[in-house]
Structure 1
């Protein structure tokens, strides 16, 4: 079973003196420190794993098997805010091979490549605890004498560094106070974000850039801007994969958004990218968004119904309403979570990631790709806006009912696509595109709330049927159904006014 710990630490260079002669600067003067407790020296032996082309290192991820100390086991460190020394460390017990739980968390990077030992680090760690006046731990400070061995090559390096790790729940500002004291003693922040990064550098091994890392050149043409937008979404997809597997808040939603942005871009920029090449990839993105939707839709619906119940007076909650909803939600959640992880473990998903990499490595550019970005992106956004206008006009012309519900749902899709087109155009068009996207988002939100009410009514009917079959009162479920009907009618009345504020593109 894997467990996660949020790690906040800073590393510092030790130069000008051999490890055995180095002495940690006096930290008693750091504000808040009452005592420094010597915890002794521990010997650590860590073997780091990566692919042959170092895909994990390229994304500042480390995977190691370490013995020694009080946290022996497998450790996977995922970046959260590298510049601030913040990473999530996912741990698993010692085993001979990479634990399945950790292998899954790096699968979007590793794909079918083999994880193998690349570096061994032997560290003699001299540990001290900084404690406050009440004896509580503020931070752990260690002086590490490190020897790095490049496995499979006769190369080694040695250095000494200081690590300062904030205690769980500690104030990150405390690390700044420690750093100020260290700097006064001539100690500087390390240039490497991890021991592995330094080991790869100091053993003279060329580190891979990673298949997803691109040039930092500023986009100029329409093709440049579209490809930059697509790369950002592809990267988001890959980076969100482990968050979805860990069931982090909003991760499924954000991953689904990335798939939709890419698919929308393929459709919006047909003049830039050859549709014959992008269409098959777009269909696979549609498939993935649909699979992710099983989990995301469950999450949104449960939150909506819970909010409705919370807002009701207790006198209107007849029967075990909360218990019925909880049973309904948990049963759906367990199934959807298993399904989502199974999708991410499947070959079809990995093939999609490979297809995206291949497409971006050799993009099927058309003539418009070489034209000025502002002209091409503006025209594409206006075309999406016109499609939205036609769908809203059609929906408003229908009588309330199932046909109008469906038409408003289709309009919502168009609003989302127009919004994405506006957001993608911001680097080229600036403020006008940003305002355009904002207006499209407003229309999308109203239409989205309407669609949520349609889905909620279907769920409430099912819950009422289940309650009735179990001999429970269905009164509350019927009451909530009526509220959702009213909410839908309100959105339909509001749509003309909201659309009036977005009918002019303003680009």
Structure 2
């Protein structure tokens, strides 16, 4: 069974002549417990082209120490990683293999580096004995196992925050070390340093400054594709908001392929767009249920206690639990499918050899502005049609269609923002307001359908359905208020539309 922990640490350079300051004098430290030296032997795994290392991910099998086993480290922020552990075994555990699949695809992982470290550990304790941080001096010997045969050796100091500790304490420790002449390490991890010093390291080329419309669109497409790949482990782990973020990246990418069809050949990207729509749909099942559950729970919380009659909350909890498990299982199955891996391969192929059209070579201010205006025009037509209809199912459907167009127009403006600047930023902000308003309206439509089903179920079970009817009425009132607000919100967005390319 794998478990995980948040790792917050700082690394520092050291030599044989380095001497640690008196750690007991560091502000906040009551005492220092020295655990003594231990030997750690770790083999790091990666693809032959070092895909994991290029993404800042490490996978290792380590013996020695209190946490021997398989460790997968996923970057969260600078100096912060999530470490997922699994028991020691000869092969990469299935759980960890699943978490790196979006990066490695079909490529096998092989041993690339062996690190043997002699670690001298000092535990910094508060006055009451609570661990604050662990400071270790590591003498490291690195041996390249694949892609080279060189070795390297160095000494480093590592300060790792204790569980539930205050990250500011590492700043305090860092100041004490630097006052003693000890400098921060330039390498983000032992593996990164080992690769750099023993042979070819993964290349991390800085993206070139975009000049053409094609440059801007491809940079945006690359950013969304990378988001899908990077969020895959978080979705599998069930981290908060991860499904939503991955779904948004999927939709943004699909929208860009449709909007910028004069830059990227739509005939070539159409199959990829269909697969992105499928993935967004699979992710949407879990996300939509999360949103619906939160909405209905909030509606119940708004009611006076005397208006919640019968086991309404219990019925909602049972429904939520059952559907949550079903949705999570379906999401995981989608990510484990051959279809999903084919989609990731297709994204790689698209970025490796993009099907560019003549529109890709023109100035971004012309081509991107034209595409944004076209999406805005489509949205204007759908909003006008919806507002002409009387309240009811037809208007609900038309507003939902307008919501989709608002999302596409917003994403188009966001993609164009680096090229068009303030006009695109303002347009995206106003379009987001339209999208949010229409999204709340559609959530209300779905909520009313669910409330009717809950009332029917309650009645069949001999329970009062009064509460569900009351909430249904409140949802109807909220929908009417949203429809009254729409003309004003849309007017502000329409005024912020991009009328022409800057300077055109």
- Please, what TM-score do these two structures have when normalized by structure 1? 0.96
Structure-to-structure mapping, 1:485-504, within 5 angstroms: 485-504=476-495
**Take 2:419 and 2:187, find their aligned partners in 1: how far apart are those partners?**
35
Pick the aligned partner of 1:275 from 262, 266, 270.
Answer: 266
Pick the aligned partner of 1:162 from 157, 160, 176.
Answer: 157
More displaced, 458-467 or 448-457?
458-467
Q: Say if 1:234 and 1:258, in contact at 8 Å, map to a contact too.
A: yes
Structure-to-structure mapping, 1:73-472, within 5 angstroms: 73-82=69-78, 85-152=79-146, 154-203=149-198, 205-209=199-203, 215-472=206-463
**Take 1:505 and 1:222, find their aligned partners in 2: how far apart are those partners?**
22
Q: Say if 1:44 and 1:124, in contact at 8 Å, map to a contact too.
A: yes
Shift of 1:23: 3.9
**Take 1:460 and 1:506, find their aligned partners in 2: how far apart are those partners?**
38
Equivalent residue for 1:51?
47
**Take 1:56 and 1:246, find their aligned partners in 2: how far apart are those partners?**
18
Equivalent residue for 1:7?
7
Equivalent residue for 2:21?
25
Equivalent residue for 1:67?
63
**Take 1:214 and 1:477, find their aligned partners in 2: how far apart are those partners?**
57
Q: Report the number of matched residues.
A: 497
Alignment partner of 1:98: what SS? coil
Shift of 1:22: 5.0
Please identify runs of 4+ aligned residues in structure 1 that moved more than 4 A: none
Shift of 1:505: 3.7
More displaced, 24-33 or 282-291?
24-33
Q: Say if 1:126 and 1:142, in contact at 8 Å, map to a contact too.
A: yes
How well do the aligned residues superpose, as a CA RMSD in angstroms?
Answer: 1.3
Equivalent residue for 1:477?
468
Q: Say if 2:376 and 2:497, in contact at 8 Å, map to a contact too.
A: no
Segments of structure 1 that go 5 or more residues without pairing to the other structure are: none
**Take 1:11 and 1:474, find their aligned partners in 2: how far apart are those partners?**
61
Q: Say if 1:64 and 1:76, in contact at 8 Å, map to a contact too.
A: yes
* Cα offsets for 1:133-185 (capped at 9, x unmatched): 22211110111111112225532221111110011111111111111111122
Shift of 1:24: 2.6
Shift of 1:214: 5.6
**Take 1:208 and 1:133, find their aligned partners in 2: how far apart are those partners?**
45
* Cα offsets for 1:332-354 (capped at 9, x unmatched): 01011011011111111111111
Q: Say if 1:9 and 1:166, in contact at 8 Å, map to a contact too.
A: yes
* Cα offsets for 1:9-41 (capped at 9, x unmatched): 0111112x2xxx654332222111121111111
* Cα offsets for 1:223-281 (capped at 9, x unmatched): 11111110110111111111111111111111111111111111111111111111111
Q: Say if 1:24 and 1:143, in contact at 8 Å, map to a contact too.
A: no
Q: 1:22 to 1:439 in 2, by over 3 A?
A: closer
Shift of 1:414: 0.4
